Structure 1
Amino acid sequence: MSTQEQGNLKHGLSNRHIQLIALGGAIGTGLFLGISQSIKLAGPSVILGYAIAGFIAFLMMRQLGEMVVEEPVSGSFSHFAYKYWGPFAGFMSGWNYWVLNVLVCMAELSAIGLYIQYWWPQIPTWASALTFFILINGINLLHVKFFGEMEFWFSIVKILAILAMIAFGSYLLATGTAGPQASISNLWALGGFFPFGVEGLVMAMAVIIFAFGGIELFGITAAEARDPDKTLPKAVNQIIYRILIFYIATLLVLFSLFPWNQMAQGGSPFVMVFASLDSQGVATLLNFVILTAAVSVYNGTSYCSSRMLLGLAQQGNAPKVFARINKRGIPTNAVILSAAVTILCVLLNYIFPEKAFGLLMMLVVAAIVINWVVISWTHLKFRKFMMRQGQTTKFPSFMYPFSNYLCMVFMLGILVVMSLTPDMRVAVMMIPGWILCLMVAYQFKRRKLKAEQPVHALEADM
């Protein structure tokens, strides 16, 4: 084995890196672009929807957080599913999460193309996707600290921009300079807070959950965290309330500035609102920030997909070639394979430039449902194991075991909503086929392993 194959992951991620990686994963296209679809379905009640989804995400994060504090390993919940649930569970959850991250990468690259077209409509989405694909993957092949620093500053830009937008929007409302349409009464004046009833909010939850689909990124960073016993609990507890403040405060300002029924026309509501208020400079700046947000999420999920593939290889659930780590602490082969699959996004945007993002978004939501259910169920198994061993954990989850069942029922409810939504139904129909493919792949892996065992035994005797 070469020196390159004997490297180790570097403990180069501090608390600020981990918090902002998770923030970066959750503050992205799901909020800035996906919100237009959820507004169309639920109107102002999406604010309540984000609060509900945020609470479920917090419960799931505490469950995952309890496990990663005890065992800060690469592969995160795939490792835990493998250890506490069973080999197939680890195989399934790991590959599902890898595919989830690749799909998110593809969705964010598709969104980047749409944001670039705000300035240069003549540039095809596939060209922008290809440009940023090359840029980000080049950086991810350097050093984990470069990734952490880049994600830190990307997230800082997003957070400062959101705070500035809240402050500027509040100023416009307070001074009455936002125009006659601006009023807090927009929250209830146009058909009420639930213009499409509670049913509208329920139907919007599948789109809303997409916005929280990167929040579990902190679990993948565990193996590269400094002082995980202190860093990870602090990150978990601080991430969620910051995200909720950003989401809810931002949406309150947005709905107050502009009638919601005019925001539900597609594109980014954030850019559209400020452009319509004759704040073209602010709209341009916001589009830059939203572009940064998409690049940030793509950066984070690229990192995450390579580390999950590394974890799968270390478990024996992926070819050993993906377990190799170079001298800089980068799993180069895992990064390259993840990138090679992600580049299919360029082809998808070339063939379906108008539909690529929507198609990818619904596939991501289906994968998120599988992932979060696996985390909650695995955590139940983990806690039972710890109780049998007479051990107490350092960072207990919130409301165990009720929170586990609540999370799973909620996520299965999302599948029901998706099955009732024509544009999303195909993603639900693909889940049984996807799980069947994983079962076939797992059986193939087992048979291959059994066939190799006599050979290894013979080599050991020689």
Structure 2
Amino acid sequence: MGTVPDETTPLKAGLKQRHLTMISLGGVIGAGLFIGSSAIIHEAGPGAFLTYGLTGLLVLLVMRQLGEMAAARPSTGSFTDYARTALGPWAGFSTGWLYWYFWVIVVGFEAVVGGQMINKWMPGVPVWLIAAGLLIVMSAINLLAVGSFGEAEYWFAGIKVAAIIVFILLAGLFVLGLWPGAHLSFSHLTDHGGFFPNGLTPVLSGVVVVIFSMTGVEVVTVAAAESKEPSSAIRKAVSSVVFRILAFFVLSTLLIAVIKPWDQITPGESPFVAALDEIGIPGAADLLNAVVLVAVLSCLNSGLYTSSRMLFVLAGRGDAPRWMAAVNRRGVPVKGLLSCTAVGYACVAFAALWPDTVFLFLINASGAVFLFVYLMISLSQLRMRKHLEATTPGGLQFRMWLHPVLPLLVAAAIVVVLTSMAFASDTRLELLQGIAVWSLLSIVHLLRRRPAPEGHPERAPRDAVSGDVERAHTVS
């Protein structure tokens, strides 16, 4: 099947710059934007685009912090390795498993969502069977080689990005009065209770919901380690892609609010379809359903890739069974990938057998996990800056702005968002279940903690990055 990786058997450098660009671009464009934005617009009103702007700014700053570390020390382990270096073995262990948990649950969830969508077109086929079929297809793509994953994600993401761009162009023409039958008017922004019809609170509290729809852009720092020039790829991706994503979210939401009165947007139904119907585009619902299905397959594809690579890293660091890091001659961690697929099948079974108990718990518990990961990224960058400046040849080429003031503000903002979840009835359960998962992982780490053997990564000093450790899991 393969060999356990050491310093001479790393992952293959099979991803190209165009793959990385589309991976980071398309990773955050999914059902959370196409459908989930309806709830934000309905709650916040025309000012909903400000919620996306604030959230995008927070994600941008976290990615800038991560980009600084990843450009200086590219690693398949990405932020889990930086957390281990900056904050100790517990941080690396818990952050890695939290991230794995998030993405492996995404695999199962997206498979079920894809099954439900296809079931509407093929009602005679059970959802669980379609979901299992989707998992098999995506697993086969990921098993071929990392280039196969990159190529599939390139086209999936390309379709999503093209759909957003076409929507912005059509909606822009309509808003500016350049579309047949349209006239220039921004009255919907103020005529239905004002710009903030429900006050500022929903605009700010909406950040808690929106931030989960923007997860995925950090995958590029994991994937970049499987490219030929990881440092350069990370700099380019982080510098440009986040700004483009910010434009996609903010512009599309603003245009929807101008075209369609906010109080006519129904939560759970796509506001994009509502806007296209208003413009007069025939078959808008069917077109968008096809795009959303592509988005679901893209998330499923990315979830399998990311969760399997995180298992590879955890196994290589001694935090998971060593056999999970075995790679075949194509550089694919086959056993780790199949383990993630098995969890996906289990999630599909849970969704079919216990949709309102076990499956619901798994989904809810993953809700706050990403904020925990973001917090660890921010704290790691604060701790590592001085060491990176001292040890990076030629100095840091990619820096976080206004260090340490801005990183401290970012960490504080994440804490505020987490705290706000505790006071909101619809997010409190997600926070508590996320804390339960993190606590369980911390207990597991304490129970298994023992002196590491000579040469093991955990023997490296906490305040220093071990170049040998990094190189062992970095494709040069």
User: Fold-level match, TM-score > 0.5?
Assistant: yes
Match of 2:239 among 226, 230, 237: 237
Q: Are the equivalent residues in 2 in contact too, given 1:110–1:357 (CA < 8 A)?
A: no
Mapping 1:393-412, distance limit 5 Å: 393-412=396-415
Residues 329 and 414 of structure 1, relative CA distance in 2, 3 Å threshold = same
Could you tell me how far apart the structure 1 residues matched to 2:125 and 2:193 are? Answer: 39
Match of 1:413 among 416, 422, 425: 416
The residue number in structure 2 matching 1:435 is 438
Could you tell me how far apart the structure 1 residues matched to 2:415 and 2:124 are? Answer: 42
- Kindly state the Cα deviation for residue 435 of structure 1 after the two structures are TM-superposed: 2.5
- Kindly state the Cα deviation for residue 344 of structure 1 after the two structures are TM-superposed: 3.0
Letter aligned with residue 340 of structure 1:
A
Residues 333 and 212 of structure 1, relative CA distance in 2, 3 Å threshold = same
Q: Are the equivalent residues in 2 in contact too, given 1:206–1:365 (CA < 8 A)?
A: no
Residues 448 and 388 of structure 1, relative CA distance in 2, 3 Å threshold = closer
SS at match of 2:44: helix
Q: Which moved more, 1:89-98 or 1:272-281?
A: 272-281
- Kindly state the Cα deviation for residue 394 of structure 1 after the two structures are TM-superposed: 2.5
Residues 20 and 419 of structure 1, relative CA distance in 2, 3 Å threshold = same
Could you tell me how far apart the structure 2 residues matched to 1:416 and 1:124 are? Answer: 41
Letter aligned with residue 412 of structure 1:
V
Letter aligned with residue 416 of structure 2:
G
Residues 419 and 141 of structure 1, relative CA distance in 2, 3 Å threshold = same
Could you tell me how far apart the structure 2 residues matched to 1:177 and 1:117 are? Answer: 37
Letter aligned with residue 436 of structure 1:
S
**TM-score of the two chains, using structure 2 as the length reference:** 0.87
Could you tell me how far apart the structure 1 residues matched to 2:115 and 2:263 are? Answer: 26
Match of 1:66 among 60, 63, 68: 68
Residues 271 and 106 of structure 1, relative CA distance in 2, 3 Å threshold = farther
- Kindly state the Cα deviation for residue 253 of structure 1 after the two structures are TM-superposed: 2.2
The residue number in structure 2 matching 1:319 is 321
Letter aligned with residue 286 of structure 1:
L
- Kindly state the Cα deviation for residue 231 of structure 1 after the two structures are TM-superposed: 1.6
- Kindly state the Cα deviation for residue 125 of structure 1 after the two structures are TM-superposed: 4.3
1:271 and 2:258 aligned: no
- Kindly state the Cα deviation for residue 297 of structure 1 after the two structures are TM-superposed: 1.8
**TM-score of the two chains, using structure 1 as the length reference:** 0.89
Q: Are the equivalent residues in 2 in contact too, given 1:115–1:290 (CA < 8 A)?
A: no
SS at match of 2:202: helix
Match of 1:83 among 79, 82, 85: 85
* 5+ long unaligned stretches in structure 2: 457-476
Q: Which moved more, 1:38-47 or 1:347-356?
A: 347-356
- Kindly state the Cα deviation for residue 222 of structure 1 after the two structures are TM-superposed: 2.7
The residue number in structure 1 matching 2:223 is 221
The residue number in structure 2 matching 1:300 is 302
Once the two structures are superposed, what CA deviation does each residue of 1:93-151 show, in whole Å capped at 9, x if it has no partner? 11111111112223333432454356456765434432322211111111100110111
The structure where helix makes up a greater share of residues is: 1
SS at match of 2:331: coil
The residue number in structure 2 matching 1:261 is 263
Letter aligned with residue 28 of structure 2:
A
Once the two structures are superposed, what CA deviation does each residue of 1:370-396 show, in whole Å capped at 9, x if it has no partner? 000000001111113335669732211
Mapping 1:61-460, distance limit 5 Å: 61-116=63-118, 119=121, 125-173=127-175, 174-175=177-178, 177=180, 183-275=185-277, 279-351=281-353, 362-386=364-388, 392-447=395-450
Q: Are the equivalent residues in 1 in contact too, given 2:208–2:417 (CA < 8 A)?
A: yes
Could you tell me how far apart the structure 2 residues matched to 1:293 and 1:283 are? Answer: 15
Q: Are the equivalent residues in 2 in contact too, given 1:33–1:268 (CA < 8 A)?
A: yes
Residues 178 and 248 of structure 1, relative CA distance in 2, 3 Å threshold = farther
Could you tell me how far apart the structure 1 residues matched to 2:214 and 2:358 are? Answer: 20
Could you tell me how far apart the structure 2 residues matched to 1:286 and 1:8 are? Answer: 40
Q: Are the equivalent residues in 1 in contact too, given 2:26–2:161 (CA < 8 A)?
A: no
Q: Which moved more, 1:35-44 or 1:384-393?
A: 384-393
Could you tell me how far apart the structure 2 residues matched to 1:419 and 1:274 are? Answer: 37
The residue number in structure 1 matching 2:459 is none
Residues 282 and 433 of structure 1, relative CA distance in 2, 3 Å threshold = closer
SS at match of 2:200: helix
Percent identity (aligned): 35
Q: Are the equivalent residues in 2 in contact too, given 1:27–1:293 (CA < 8 A)?
A: yes
- Kindly state the Cα deviation for residue 351 of structure 1 after the two structures are TM-superposed: 4.3
Q: Are the equivalent residues in 2 in contact too, given 1:125–1:353 (CA < 8 A)?
A: no
1:57 and 2:47 aligned: no
Residues 265 and 58 of structure 1, relative CA distance in 2, 3 Å threshold = closer
Mapping 1:14-29, distance limit 5 Å: 14-29=16-31
- Kindly state the Cα deviation for residue 431 of structure 1 after the two structures are TM-superposed: 3.4
Once the two structures are superposed, what CA deviation does each residue of 1:193-247 show, in whole Å capped at 9, x if it has no partner? 2121111112211111011111111111132022123221011101111101111
Letter aligned with residue 68 of structure 1:
A
Q: Which moved more, 1:346-355 or 1:196-205?
A: 346-355
- Kindly state the Cα deviation for residue 40 of structure 1 after the two structures are TM-superposed: 2.9
Q: Are the equivalent residues in 2 in contact too, given 1:107–1:360 (CA < 8 A)?
A: no
Could you tell me how far apart the structure 2 residues matched to 1:373 and 1:117 are? Answer: 39
Q: Which moved more, 1:397-406 or 1:270-279?
A: 270-279
Letter aligned with residue 227 of structure 2:
A
Residues 124 and 348 of structure 1, relative CA distance in 2, 3 Å threshold = same
Q: Which moved more, 1:116-125 or 1:80-89?
A: 116-125
- Kindly state the Cα deviation for residue 277 of structure 1 after the two structures are TM-superposed: 5.8
Could you tell me how far apart the structure 1 residues matched to 2:126 and 2:199 are? Answer: 39
Q: Are the equivalent residues in 2 in contact too, given 1:127–1:346 (CA < 8 A)?
A: no
The residue number in structure 2 matching 1:456 is none
Letter aligned with residue 209 of structure 1:
I
Letter aligned with residue 108 of structure 1:
E
Q: Are the equivalent residues in 2 in contact too, given 1:210–1:364 (CA < 8 A)?
A: no
